Structure 1
Amino acid sequence: MSGRSVPSRQINIVLRGPEPPAAPLAEAEIQPAAKRTPSEGPLSDIFKELEQMIGLDNVKELVHEIYALLQISRFRADAGLVHNSHVYHMIFKGSPGTGKTTVARLMGRMFHAMGVLSKGHFIEVERADLVGEYIGHTALKTRELMKKAMGGILFIDEAYSLARGGDKDFGKEAIDCLVKGMEDKKNEFILILAGYPDEMEQFLATNPGLPSRFPIQVDFEDYSIDQLIQITEHMAKEREYVLLPSAVSKLKQHLAEEKAASWRSFSNARYVRNVLEKSMRHQAVRLLSQYTSAPSKQELMAIRPEDLKLK
C-alpha cells in the first residue's frame, strides 16, 4: 500500500431561504387581447353577419359577451367546475328599423349553434296573436304560441300593447301567462319583448315581476345620417345598383329634414330601404323613356338624383 494521501473533496452547501409564495391568481397580470370569435362553421358565419351590420356597437358587445360566457361554461364543465345555466330572456328597446328583429333572429341561430336552444327557430307575434276574445281564450292562445316556440325564440313586437287596455283587458291575461311560462320553461325557449323605449319602460312597470325576469335589456339607438347612407349604399350594392355622388348628397339632405320633422315615427333602415326601392322603380321608368334599346351596364346600375323623387 502506497503512502500517497487521497485529496479530500470540498462540498459547498448553499443555504437558500424559502421560495416566495406564488402571486394570488386574482392578482396575476393579464395581458389585453383581441376578442376571439369562431373561425369556421355556423358560428363563424353568424359573427360575420353581425360585424357587417352598420352601428349597433352595444349589441355586438352583448353578443360577444354571451358567446364568451357559453364557451367558458363549456370549459368549466370539462374541468369539473360548476357551470350553472343562465336565463336569456331579453328586452329590446328602440325605434322601428333599428335592427331588433334581425338581431333576434341572429341570436336564435347562435344559441342553437351553441347548444342552448334545441332548434333555434324564430316565431314573431304581436298583440292580436296572443289576446283572445273571451275569458280563457287568451291563455289558450298564449300557451299554444309558447309551445310552438319551444327550442327557439318567441319575439313579441310592440309588447307594451298588451298592457294598454287596463286591468279588465285580456292583454293582462297574456302577460300573466307569459310570466308563468317563461319561469316554468326558462331553459327551453327565449322570450324577447321589443318596442319603443319609453313605452317598454311603462310596460315593465305594470307588473312587478316583469323586470327581474328579463336580465338582458338592450337599447337599439337610432342610426345617424352617415350610418343611414352607409346602409343605403350597402343595400344598393347587394342589388347591384350604385348611388351617384349627387344622389347621395340629395338623400343626405332629405334624411336630415325627415328625421327632424318626424323623429318619433322615423323608421331608420326601413325608411331608406323603401326610398331605395322606390328610386329603383323611378330609374326603370326613366331608362325606358330615354333608350330605345338596352341601356349600358353602367346606366342600368346608376341611381341618379332625379330617381330620388322624395317628398
Structure 2
Amino acid sequence: MSIFTYSTYEDIPTLDDVKREISSIVGLHKIKIQLEKIVEKIISAENDASYSFRVVPPKPFHMVFVGNTGTGKSTVARILGKLFYLSGALPSYDVIETGLRGKMKTGDGGILLVDIDERDLDSNKLEEIISVMDEEETSVIFAGNRMALNQSMKLNKELYKRFSASLLFEDFTCEELAMIIEKKDE
C-alpha cells in the first residue's frame, strides 16, 4: 500500500471549517455525534483560555476504526487530525495512511492511519508501530474489518492495551450511497 499525506499548511483549518466538514458527512450518525463532542470540548477549552484559566492540552490517544472498506474511516481520520491539532494534542494535522506491507513511515506529529489487512500481518511491523505509539507525538489509528483487527491484536498481546477508543463504521445504506454520489457530481 502506498503512503498518502493528506494536508498542506497553506490553509490552516479552523473550528468552523471542521464543523462544516463534520456536518457535510453523509451517514455515520453516531460517529458525527462523537466528533461534535470533541469540537465542544475544544471550544470550552478555548473559552477557558480566554479567561486566563490554565488549559492543559490533551495527550494524543490511539484508536481503532472497525469497518468494511469504503465506510468513511479515512475521512474521519482526517477530521480527527484537524481536531487534535486545533486542541493542541498534536503538533501537526497531517494524516499519513499506510499498511503493514513495505516501508513504515511515522505520523510526524499527526495521525498515522494503519490499514490492517489479514494478509499483511507482520509482528515486526506491529513492534515498530508500538514504538511510534509510545513516543506520544503521533496518534495511531488502526483501521480495518473486525477479522483483520482481531488477528493483529492476537499477534501482539501488548497492542490492544494501547488503544483508548474504538469506533464502529457501519456500511452505508443505498440512500446514503446515492447521496454520496450526488455530492461528488456537484
Question: Shorter chain as normaliser: what TM range?
Answer: 0.7 to 0.9
TM-score by length of 1: 0.50
Aligned position for 1:248: none
Aligned position for 1:154: 112
Q: Measure how far apart 1:78 and its partner are.
A: 4.4
Query: Helix, strand or coil: the match of 1:123?
Result: strand
Aligned position for 2:98: 125
Paired with 1:50 and 1:124, the residues of 2 have a C-alpha distance of: 20
Q: Measure how far apart 1:216 and its partner are.
A: 1.3
Paired with 2:119 and 2:19, the residues of 1 have a C-alpha distance of: 33
Describe the superposition over 1:222-275 as per-residue Cα deviations: whole angstroms up to 9, x where unpaired: 011111122222222x1xxxxxxxxxxxxxxxxxxxxxxxxxxxxxxxxxxxxx
Do the aligned residues in 1 keep the contact of 2:90 with 2:138 (CA within 8 Å)?
Answer: yes
- Given candidates 158, 168, 173, the residue that maps to 1:219 is 168
Query: Helix, strand or coil: the match of 1:208?
Result: coil
Q: Which runs of 4+ in 1 moved over 6 A?
A: none
Paired with 2:117 and 2:15, the residues of 1 have a C-alpha distance of: 29
Distance 1:49 1:80, change over 3 A: closer
Distance 1:129 1:68, change over 3 A: farther
Describe the superposition over 1:91-141 as per-residue Cα deviations: whole angstroms up to 9, x where unpaired: 1111111111111112212222222221211211122234xxxxxxxxxxx
Paired with 1:153 and 1:160, the residues of 2 have a C-alpha distance of: 22
- AA aligned to 1:204 is M
Do the aligned residues in 1 keep the contact of 2:118 with 2:147 (CA within 8 Å)?
Answer: no
Aligned position for 2:179: 230
- Given candidates 58, 70, 88, the residue that maps to 1:115 is 88
- Given candidates 156, 173, 176, the residue that maps to 2:124 is 173
Do the aligned residues in 2 keep the contact of 1:162 with 1:172 (CA within 8 Å)?
Answer: no
Aligned-residue Cα RMSD (Å) equals 2.4
Do the aligned residues in 2 keep the contact of 1:88 with 1:214 (CA within 8 Å)?
Answer: yes
- AA aligned to 1:199 is A
Unmatched tracts of structure 1, length 5 or more? 1-40, 131-141, 164-170, 239-311
- AA aligned to 1:196 is N
Paired with 1:109 and 1:161, the residues of 2 have a C-alpha distance of: 31
Do the aligned residues in 2 keep the contact of 1:155 with 1:194 (CA within 8 Å)?
Answer: yes
Do the aligned residues in 2 keep the contact of 1:160 with 1:195 (CA within 8 Å)?
Answer: no
The structure in which a higher percent of residues are helix is 1
Aligned position for 1:182: 133
Describe the superposition over 1:24-66 as per-residue Cα deviations: whole angstroms up to 9, x where unpaired: xxxxxxxxxxxxxxxxx71111111111111111211221232
Paired with 1:84 and 1:117, the residues of 2 have a C-alpha distance of: 9
TM-score by length of 2: 0.80
Which is greater in Rg? Answer: 1
Paired with 1:216 and 1:197, the residues of 2 have a C-alpha distance of: 15
- Given candidates 45, 59, 70, the residue that maps to 1:86 is 59
Which structure ranks higher in relative contact order (CA pairs < 8 Å, sequence separation ≥ 6)?
A: 2
Query: Helix, strand or coil: the match of 1:218?
Result: strand
The structure in which a higher percent of residues are strand is 2
Distance 1:207 1:108, change over 3 A: same
How many residues get paired?
A: 172
Describe the superposition over 1:280-304 as per-residue Cα deviations: whole angstroms up to 9, x where unpaired: xxxxxxxxxxxxxxxxxxxxxxxxx
Q: Percent identity?
A: 27
Aligned position for 2:10: none
Paired with 1:209 and 1:78, the residues of 2 have a C-alpha distance of: 40
Distance 1:54 1:174, change over 3 A: same
Query: Helix, strand or coil: the match of 1:119?
Result: coil
